[in-house]
Amino acid sequence: MKWFLQRVLAAIAAVLAVALGAALLVRVQYNGEPASWAVSDGSNALWMGHAWVDGRYGQKELSRLKPRIVKGGISDVYVHVGPLETDGRLDPAKHPELDGFLRMFREELPDVRVSAWVGQRVEEGDLDLGDEAVRERVVEASAGMIDAGLDGVHYNFEPVPNNDPDLIELLELTRDRLPEDALLSSAVPTVEPLGGLAFTLGLLTPKDPFWSGGYLERVAEHLDQVAVMSYDTGMPTEGLYGGFVVRQTQVALDAVPEDVQLLMGVPAYPDDHVARNPEAETAAAAVRGIRLGLSDGRERRERFGTAVYADFSATDRQWRAYLDGWARPGAGPGQQQGRGG
């Protein structure tokens, strides 16, 4: 018994040491200044809420959002059309105004791609991606969105465990069934800031807190676009959060193949809960962290941008932080970056 207790205490001490080392690593990452070239090239995305396809939003709301899309260099939007039913089906009654939204949006912003944001909770009692019939229905729903005129499908299943084979099978099946020119993208969770941390913490916690870089690479190989949800991190201070985003950006740049577009998430919502301190997880800290992480690569990677979450919750202050910090940092009149900016 004494031997067992000693082993347990040693394991806990080792985990604490790793956690402390990781905290020190991420905090120091937030120092310095980003490179002048580490800014938007007009390849960014925006998550858009359900109100656009259920009739609550229309031309008035789009007129307010359009300048932000243009100035923000946003080339892709993910419009929430679900959620899926627990058996994988997508009820058309959940997006009755989809056709009208697409006509309106494309008339105003013809160069911006529109993908169907498709997802559901993946937990016991909810959607089971391990069920072959469920996966088939998810893919059928996704193909239906392309048939309805959307440019692509954006998956968002949470939580997906590290090294989960079911998501890989779903992506393979989706890629096989969608038209070749359809965009396939997915939101993914945060990645281990230190190699081996996902495995170590996975032994001690009931749910994987991170994906490994290796699993992110495997997932990305089946996609055109990956959006890392670099928020809800539990970081208590802005410095730690900013450093965490720097490290997330560095790890994701290494893991995601260069022919796959990599987007780093920017939080623009008010939620305050155990996994998020809104005073720490600011849009300003996120974009500075992304720029610092990108700067570490010594040159601008193509097919790299940000993804803002979300249109329905972003405040004027958060939009300003995004525009001034990423889309057009230091730009004066006539020098703004981004699409039409």
Annotate 136-156 with DSSP letters as a single string: HHHHHHHHHHHHTT-SEEEEE
**Does the residue 339 lie in any domain?**
no
**Does the residue 239 lie in any domain?**
yes
Confidence band for 123, pLDDT divided at 50, 70 and 90: confident
Report the distance separating Cα 299 and Cα 307, nearest Å: 21
The whole-number average pLDDT for the span 59-65 is 98
| Residue 188 predicted with pLDDT over 50 | yes
Stretch (H or E) spanning 64: helix 59-71
The whole-number average pLDDT for the span 306-326 is 98
Out of 66-70, 137-141, 301-305, 329-333, pick the least confident.
Answer: 329-333
What stretches of 35-134 adopt beta strand conformation (E)? 44-48, 74-80, 113-121
The whole-number average pLDDT for the span 97-106 is 98
The whole-number average pLDDT for the span 192-200 is 62
Q: Which domain holds residue 97?
A: 2-327
**Does the residue 13 lie in any domain?**
yes
Residue positions counted in the chain:
341
To the question of pTM greater than 0.85 for the whole model, the response is yes
The tally of domains found in the chain comes to 1
User: What is the pLDDT, as a whole number, of residue 196?
Assistant: 55
pLDDT in tens, 213-260: 999 999 999 999 999 999 999 899 999 999 999 999 999 999 999 999
Residue with tokens 């996704």: 142
Report the distance separating Cα 169 and Cα 197, nearest Å: 25
Report the distance separating Cα 38 and Cα 59, nearest Å: 34
**Does the residue 337 lie in any domain?**
no
Share the mean pLDDT of the chain: 88
High-pLDDT (> 90) share of the chain, %: 77
Residue type, 246: V
Confidence band for 140, pLDDT divided at 50, 70 and 90: very high
The whole-number average pLDDT for the span 275-284 is 95
Out of 23-32, 257-266, 321-330, pick the least confident.
Answer: 23-32
> Does 1 or 341 have the greater pLDDT score?
1
User: CATH number, domain at 38?
Assistant: 3.20.20.80
Tokens of 283: 């849009």
Stretch (H or E) spanning 263: strand 261-267
**Does the residue 154 lie in any domain?**
yes
Asked if residues 71 and 328 have their Cβ atoms less than 8 Å apart, the reply is yes
- Kindly state the greatest CA–CA separation across the chain: 72
The whole-number average pLDDT for the span 101-109 is 98
**Does the residue 156 lie in any domain?**
yes
Which residues 6+ apart lie within 8 Å of 106 measured at CB?
Answer: 114
**Does the residue 66 lie in any domain?**
yes
Confidence band for 20, pLDDT divided at 50, 70 and 90: very low
**Does the residue 333 lie in any domain?**
no
Asked if residues 162 and 205 have their Cβ atoms less than 8 Å apart, the reply is no
